[in-house]
Amino acid sequence: MKLFITILISFIWCLPVIAQSPVNDTRTKTQKYFLEYDPNVLRIEGNSLPIGIIVLSDMGIKSQTKGFLNGFDDWSKYKIEIDSGNYSNGKIKIKGSRKVYKKGDSLTVNVYTKKWFLGGKDKWLFLQKIPYNYETSINILTTENFPKAPGDHVQFGVRKNFDNKMFIDKWTPVRKNLKDFVFLFNGVHISKSKDDLKIDNDPTKIKNNKIQLITLLAKNTAITDTLNVLLDYVANYQFNARSAGKGYDLNVTADIYHDSVINAQLLKIKIQNQATQQTYNYWVNTNGGSIDISTRSANGSDGANGPDGHAGTTGSSGIVSTLTETKINSDGTTVTTTSTVTGQGGDGGNGQDGGNGRDGDSGGNGGNITINYSPGVTPYLNLIKAYSIPGTGGSGGKAGKGGAGGTGGAGNPNGNNGSSGSDGRKGFDGYNGRKGNVTFKMTGQIS
């Protein structure tokens, strides 16, 4: 019986609302107005809701607007006003704040006739309230078969379910798509690099092998969902310690124990950086997991290039002088002649020698890795790989080029060209560093 009443109320709520104030018209007698909207569109802020107006006369004549109702009435004869939205071309663009929970709230639509010349509203025809849709529940979504080990990233989303049985799914990135929710974390956090969900790196800080994400709808925190995930520690872990000089020395302990919660044999790995005293923990499922441990030293810096030599200066031009000669003819007259003479041009300067390239620096030596393991770890040593990686030597700098000799100055004769400078020597490449020692040592039971 309760179900029948609920369905009946929902049906009545969706029926078109009859105009509150019918208008008498001498040409068409009494008219009743109805407003209908598309039930397949969520009535939430930001959405465009198609609407239509139906007009019924007491003579049984029915007409309806173009667009959503596929009628013939033109919208130009109506003026539409909405308290929380805008109207255009048969659609309402719904406004509002996504921070307000809309249960029990409605859009108010007032319909008027339009003034033909001024385009404003004329006679009021009717008022219609359109109820907002509101969220009734949320569900956390994840991709199938996502990884379940410390350090893994998890793509997730949240589904918002509404009162009309429709829903919206939003997926990461969090800052862009999931601003409507509040998150509480246990063993997980939002990744700064990928803006998704990341399982915390340190397994010793995760309680009972379980991570938890609690999600609340920000506008109504009573609407919530919880994601609980049991970790399996199946991963191919990569640990790399990289230094700015010689490789860091690493002290590693490895033990094994049976985890009854997940029914698995786990390698318990602890890595300590001897220089920084930082400690890193890894739990490795022996059925499908592994770990690579490496210490890497810095590469040698490349040598600077030798400077190019400066070009020699151009020789100066020869000096131009004027000679005047007077000659007495046999008849006693004199003839004076003037001529110009250009001296020898100056020699061009020699080019400067190019500088030698600097030698490259040597690469740093790799750090030492010592792995202390309990006897029970012996069958699983193949799951632990360790590498000491030395730095490569820097490349020698390029040789500087000798400067070009200067051009001899113009003259009579021209000056000699200067000699070009010699090219410098290329720098020698630096030596590669040496690998450090990797040592496996079986010890007693490690606590």
- pLDDT digits 0-9 by tens, 396-444: 889 888 788 778 778 788 878 878 888 888 888 888 989 999 999 998 7
Confidence of residue 309 (pLDDT cuts 50, 70, 90): confident
**Is the Cα dihedral 184, 185, 191, 192 positive or negative?**
positive
pLDDT of residue 66: 95
* CA pair distance 128, 14, nearest whole angstrom: 12
pLDDT, tens only, 342-371: 778 777 778 788 788 888 888 889 999 999
In 274-408, beta strands by DSSP E: 279-285, 290-296, 320-328, 334-342, 369-373, 384-389
Phi, psi of 203 (to 5 degrees): -70, -20
The mean-pLDDT minimum among 115-119, 136-140, 282-286 falls in 115-119
The tally of CA atoms less than 13 A away on the side-chain side of residue 226 is 7
Give pLDDT, residue 196. Answer: 96
Exposed / middle / buried, residue 301 (Cβ in 10 Å: 0-12, 13-18, 19+) = middle
Q: Is the pLDDT of residue 62 over 50?
A: yes
Q: DSSP state, 330?
A: T
On the question of pLDDT at 141 being above 50, the answer is: yes
pLDDT at 337: 78
**pLDDT for position 9:** 39
Cα distance between residue 85 and residue 93, in whole Å? 5
Does residue 43 contact residue 94 with C-beta atoms inside 8 Å?
Answer: yes
User: What integer pLDDT is reported at residue 185 of this predicted model?
Assistant: 97
pLDDT of residue 23: 40
The pLDDT of residue 47 is: 96
Residue 430 contacts residue 363 (beta carbons within 8 Å) = yes
**Among 105, 92, 111, which Cα is nearest to 32's?**
111
**Residue 222 scores a pLDDT above 70:** yes
Q: Is the torsion defined by CA of 424, 425, 426, 427 positive or negative? A: negative
- Residues 17-61 have pLDDT tens digits of 333 333 444 444 678 999 999 999 999 999 999 999 999 998 889
Question: Binning pLDDT at 50, 70 and 90, where does residue 445 land?
Answer: low
Q: How confident is the model at residue 279 (pLDDT cuts 50, 70, 90)?
A: very high
- What's the CA gap between 322 and 339, in Å, rounded? 6
The proportion of the chain whose per-residue pLDDT surpasses 70, expressed as a percent, equals 92
Cα(221)–Cα(225) distance, rounded to whole angstroms? 10
Rounded to the nearest integer, the mean pLDDT of the chain is 88
- Residue-level pLDDT at 5: 40
Q: Is the pLDDT of residue 10 over 50?
A: no
Contact (CB, 8 A) for 96 and 106: no
Q: What is the pLDDT of residues 80-137, one digit of tens each?
A: 999 999 999 999 999 978 889 999 999 999 999 998 877 788 999 999 999 999 999 9
Flag whether pLDDT at 8 surpasses 70: no
Q: Average of pLDDT values for 377-397?
A: 93
Q: pLDDT (tens digit, 9 = 90+) per residue, 168-209?
A: 999 999 999 999 999 999 999 999 999 999 999 999 999 999
Q: How far is CA 291 from CA 6, 165, 385, in A?
A: 58, 47, 6
Secondary structure (3-state) at 75: helix
